Copies of this chain bind each other. A is one copy, B any other.
Amino acid sequence: MLPLALDVMGGDNAPDVVIEGARRAKQELGVELIMVGLPEVVGPLAAEGFQVLATSEVVEMHDDPASSVRRKRDSSLVRCAELVRDHKAVGMISAGNTGAAMASALLKFGRLPRVARPAIATTIPVPGSTPTVVLDSGANSDVIASWLVQFAEMGSVYSNEVFGVESPRVGILSIGEEKGKGNELVKEAYPLLEQCDRINFIGNVEGRDVMSDRIDVVVCDGYTGNIVLKTLEGSMRALAKAIFDHLGAGEDGQAVVDVALPKLLPLMEELDPDSYGGAMLLGVDGICIISHGSSSPKAIFNAIATSMRLADHGILGKLTSAVGS
């Protein structure tokens, strides 16, 4: 199989965490990786058996996505996308500027046949159950109803491929379970989803269903999806911090933490977004995984593992078959 292209410069803690995750993946999974980045960073990696591609520029986290991709033609991000376009890499991973990663993939790969708009599919961990896939979680702030049907089709393939869910249950995010509840977009999209025989549409779902075992794929506009995602991220972090603050308070606090922590570690592991490695941009003609800016080496490792598995399973062909006109 072709190697995978890694944007070594992308992420809050790049390049160190990216390199560490890549080393682990190379060793444990035996995958071929092309390390793309500034020469002084990637140069030394050749001696470790990595393929390397030296580039002169870096897209920064705060750069404007569209213009930085046009302007910084020799950036690690743009070069990663070109490797995929030129069939020299099977896919790309970046933990850098999300908008720029999306823009470079869209610009260089192009879209899959019939796909109107690519969408970002994000994985929400569910305690004790299969994760929920939410899309779009940020690629398109404003959407039209027919795009949501394609998101549903692509999200179903993703849930099936990544989490092994047979006939994933698809819901549209709304503010009431009954048909007819929701904003104008939801009311318009509902009958289109209902008529689509390529998905297992179960109707409206509410915010409280996202982190539950009642649903596998949730479709919504990218504004709402991104807000749901970040609300969950923020509240989980706030709650986890508050719990440990409370457990650790008082004279016997340390003792209580000492007995509680080992019990809670498996749950923290289960809910750790790094366990899933990143979000996938679905609908472009190549594999593009966008990892969180604060990704750990574990996240990079998992993003690599997922990318290779998806490539191996022919995800692009399956997505193409799944998307109707």
Instruction: Please list the residues of chain A having a beta carbon within 8 angstroms of any beta carbon in chain B.
Output: 126-128, 138, 141-142, 173-175, 182-184, 186, 206-212, 221-224, 226-239, 241-243, 245-247, 249-250, 252-253, 255-256, 259-260, 263-264, 266-267, 271
Instruction: Note all chain B residues with C-beta closer than 8 A to A208.
Output: 230-231, 233-235, 237
* CB nearest to A250 among chain B residues: B263
Q: Tell whether, in the assembled complex, residue A222 and residue B263 are in contact, meaning their CB atoms are under 8 Å apart.
A: no
Instruction: Note all chain B residues with C-beta closer than 8 A to A233.
Output: 207-208
State in angstroms the CA–CA spacing of A100 and B56 once bound together. 62
Q: Tell whether, in the assembled complex, residue A212 and residue B234 are in contact, meaning their CB atoms are under 8 Å apart.
A: yes
* CB nearest to A206 among chain B residues: B230
Q: Tell whether, in the assembled complex, residue B210 and residue A231 are in contact, meaning their CB atoms are under 8 Å apart.
A: yes
Interface SS of A by simple majority: helix
- A232 touches which of B183, B235, B241, B267 (Cβ 8 Å): B235
Q: Tell whether, in the assembled complex, residue B234 and residue A231 are in contact, meaning their CB atoms are under 8 Å apart.
A: no
State in angstroms the CA–CA spacing of A275 and B269 once bound together. 31
Q: Tell whether, in the assembled complex, residue B182 and residue A223 are in contact, meaning their CB atoms are under 8 Å apart.
A: yes
State in angstroms the CA–CA spacing of A236 and B241 once bound together. 13
* A33 vs chain B, min Cβ distance (A): 31
**For the complex of A and B, 4 pairs with smallest distance between CB atoms:** A208-B234, A207-B230, A207-B231, A127-B242
A127-B238, A207-B233, A252-B259 given; name 18 further pairs at CB < 8 Å.
A127-B239, A127-B241, A127-B242, A127-B245, A128-B242, A206-B227, A208-B234, A208-B237, A209-B234, A224-B227, A227-B228, A228-B228, A235-B235, A239-B271, A243-B267, A255-B259, A256-B259, A260-B260
Q: Tell whether, in the assembled complex, residue A256 and residue B263 are in contact, meaning their CB atoms are under 8 Å apart.
A: yes
* A254 vs chain B, min Cβ distance (A): 12
Instruction: Note all chain B residues with C-beta closer than 8 A to A255.
Output: 259
Instruction: Note all chain B residues with C-beta closer than 8 A to A224.
Output: 223-224, 227
State in angstroms the CA–CA spacing of A271 and B241 once bound together. 13
> Could you list some 16 contacts between A and B, CB below 8 A?
A128-B242, A141-B183, A173-B227, A186-B223, A206-B230, A207-B226, A207-B231, A208-B231, A208-B234, A208-B237, A211-B234, A212-B234, A224-B224, A231-B231, A242-B267, A259-B260
* CB nearest to A264 among chain B residues: B246
- A266 touches which of B175, B238, B241, B246 (Cβ 8 Å): B246
State in angstroms the CA–CA spacing of A250 and B227 once bound together. 37
Instruction: Note all chain B residues with C-beta closer than 8 A to A231.
Output: 207-208, 210-211, 228, 231-232
Instruction: Note all chain B residues with C-beta closer than 8 A to A239.
Output: 127, 211, 236, 239, 271
Instruction: Note all chain B residues with C-beta closer than 8 A to A230.
Output: 175, 206-208
CB within 8 Å for A142 and B246 given contacts A227-B206, A259-B256: no
